[in-house]
């Protein structure tokens, strides 16, 4: 579907139907309407939620932030407008992992990315935490005796 200020209702209804079918097949709760999709699209301001690229007069896709295959609900709050490139790159990845990849590729840090990292940052076991963060909880500091290996070969 192409982004414009006038979105065709029939196209939105077909898109909503496709999202709802995919969600049902995955056992995901929720259903979206064409009007709810219109809101998601127009709220984007014509920009990909992930990388910030303009999609005005260009193709766009609707992404489940937390994918339905990962248990994400099929509701408007879990939807974001995405450029086709970001939606394909994200695929089935965890949202925090993909947000980190987007930032690593040099995309601007947007309020959307901040919300994703705040909401999902600690939920991805594949994401490594910041070892040098100042906000480690008490008793969680990393000590030399926490290492599984003999620290002798390392220069500290």
pLDDT 10s digits, 25-72: 999 999 999 999 999 999 999 999 999 999 999 999 999 999 999 999
| Tens digits of residue pLDDT in 81-119 | 999 999 999 999 999 999 999 999 999 998 999 999 999
Domain ranges (residues) in the chain: 9-146
**Candidate CATH numbers 3.40.225.10, 1.10.30.50, 2.70.150.10, 1.10.600.10; the one for domain 9-146:** 1.10.30.50
Output the pTM of the full model.
0.76
Q: Which of 15, 70, 78, 71 is nearest to 49 (CA)?
A: 78
Distance CA(103)–CA(101), nearest Å, equals 5
């Amino acid at each position: 579907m192409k982004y414009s200020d006038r979105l065709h209702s029939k196209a939105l209804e077909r898109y909503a139907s496709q999202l709802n079918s995919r969600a049902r097949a995955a056992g995901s709760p929720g259903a979206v309407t064409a009007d709810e999709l219109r809101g998601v699209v127009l709220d984007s301001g014509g920009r990909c939620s992930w990388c910030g690229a303009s999609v005005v007069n260009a193709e766009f896709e609707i992404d489940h932030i937390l994918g339905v295959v990962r248990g994400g609900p099929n509701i408007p709050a879990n939807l974001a407008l995405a450029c086709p490139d970001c939606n394909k790159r994200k695929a089935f990845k965890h949202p925090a992992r993909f947000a980190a990849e987007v930032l690593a590729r040099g995309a601007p840090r947007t309020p959307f990315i901040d919300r994703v990292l705040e909401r999902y940052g600690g939920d991805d076991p594949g994401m490594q935490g910041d070892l040098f963060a100042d906000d480690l909880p008490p008793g969680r500091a990393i000590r030399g005796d926490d290492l599984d290996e003999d620290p002798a070969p390392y220069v500290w």
